[in-house]
Chains A and B, each alone.
Chain A
Amino acid sequence: MQAISLSKSGLPLLQKAIVLAVLAASTSACSMIQPVQPWEKGVLAKPEMIFDEDKLDAAYVEHTYSSKEAAFGGAGVGGGGCGCN
């Protein structure tokens, strides 16, 4: 009898490091980005450029995946749980 789990040594530290690295990369990259002026944001205002534009679709998808998979969340807080996870 054995547990089918991967080795777990030192993972939490590694995870924190990944989180910090991603956040750091995202902020330091800002200085290299050419700032976009307000009048140049026509494309960015298009519905398909907005994250989670279809909220009901996003909610269905989140709900059905969380009944089949362990991972969840990511985009923000709120919404509430259900007995499926």
Chain B
Amino acid sequence: MKNTPDGSQLLNALSKSALFLNTMRRSGMVAVAATSAALIGQPVFAEAAPEKSTINFKTLTYRDYQPSDDRIDIDAESFLIQVPIAGQWSITGTAVHDAISGASPRYHSSSLAQIKDTRKAYTGAVTRYFQQGSVTVGTAYSKEKDYISRNYSIQNSWSTPSQNTTFIVGLGYTSDQIIPNSIFLTAKEDKRVVDLALGVTQVLSQTDIAQVTYHHTRGRGYYSDQYKLYDARPDSRDSDSVLVRWNHHFVESANTLHSSYRYYTDSNDINAHTLEFDYVFNLPNQWSITPLLRYYSQSAASFYYDPVANDPWADADTFGAPISVVYPLYAEGRFASMDQRLSSFGAITYGAKLTKHFGENWSADVKFEQYEQKGSWALGNGSDGLKDFGARSIQFGISHSF
């Protein structure tokens, strides 16, 4: 064996080679990494089977209203469970029960009778994870006394070897039954929708991830509203939408900005723009607060008729639904609807979500949202005859993983 190495040689050599620290400092190289210790041990692949099971319970209290009279209340409870199986599979199930009550809106219905209904909806999905992607097969079922919907879907995602780009292809088929429950519908009707989604998720940097999704739907069948007087809509609706989402994390503040924009267009001639931002402020002691702001605008359907603007009796309030507008069209067999949802309007939502984590495995959240809709807020010409319309919702949620 050689003589004892000389410590001064090593010290000199290492001191000279301490350059990298300095070059990094000079070039102002920004250090970026996980700022949450909870991440340690988590594989960072585009999509990997979840390591833990999750259960999530939420309640929703929703009320929409026009200033003069309250309209619809919804109380909903929902439940989600996701269980990983054998490291390569996961099963996800959700159940939602809605109780809907309230007066149906003026102009939009045959009467102002109280409506009360319940909706039960269930979804189930199985995902198989592979080295570079996953395949999900899912089904959904929803039932109301006048409406049954069944959906089947398959979605495949795969990533490039770097896991920085992920492609998604989804195909869905929905078959709905409309059950007669009003004087306007005498026989069962149905509706079938095929939809296709194509998406790309791209890691842009250590703190940015973006997604572009194109969604096409092709629907055939009964699209009218059985409760609305003289409501006749085309028996097909095709839609295209492009959704762009971008998440950015600010390392210094540990906050995150979510931005999204959606363009929607359909064969009813409705074009819509949706712009949404929310910002996750991380607070001490595992609290976070996320204010959100959303703007939505749509143009009217080609067969939308404004109940007031076209009404010879402009002060229609006293007369109930202004059937004089659409009845002649309806009688001629032309499409017509006075559904506010087909009008031209703009809408703003603002709200905030407050989340508290308790250790790694429990979290609770409460979310408040206020929604306001006005004809004059539309990007183009808004429909004149709309009453301002609003909605308010509060969600409570609790989530546990194990």
Contacts and interface: CB of A to CB of B under 8 A. Distances in A.
CB atoms of A and B under 8 A apart anywhere in the complex? yes
Contacts of A85: 341
Contact of B240 (A15, A30, A56, A76): A15
Given A36-B203, A44-B206, A83-B178, A4 B381 contact: yes
Contacts of B202: 26, 29-30, 33
Contacts of A38: 44-45, 162-163
29 contacts: A1-B305, A3-B300, A3-B302, A3-B303, A3-B305, A4-B383, A6-B299, A11-B271, A12-B265, A22-B244, A26-B210, A29-B202, A42-B206, A43-B251, A48-B249, A48-B256, A56-B58, A59-B78, A59-B94, A64-B391, A65-B296, A71-B296, A72-B241, A73-B195, A80-B123, A80-B150, A82-B119, A82-B144, A83-B146
A6 B265 CA distance: 12
B300 A79 contact: no
Contacts of A82: 119, 121, 142, 144, 147, 149
B101 interface: no
Interface of A: 1-6, 8, 11-12, 15-16, 18-19, 22-23, 26-27, 29-30, 33-36, 38-46, 48-49, 51, 54-57, 59-60, 64-65, 67-83, 85
Contact of B149 (A3, A49, A81): A81
Nearest to A40: B206
Give chain A's interface secondary structure class. loop
A79 to B, nearest CB: 6
Give chain B's interface secondary structure class. strand
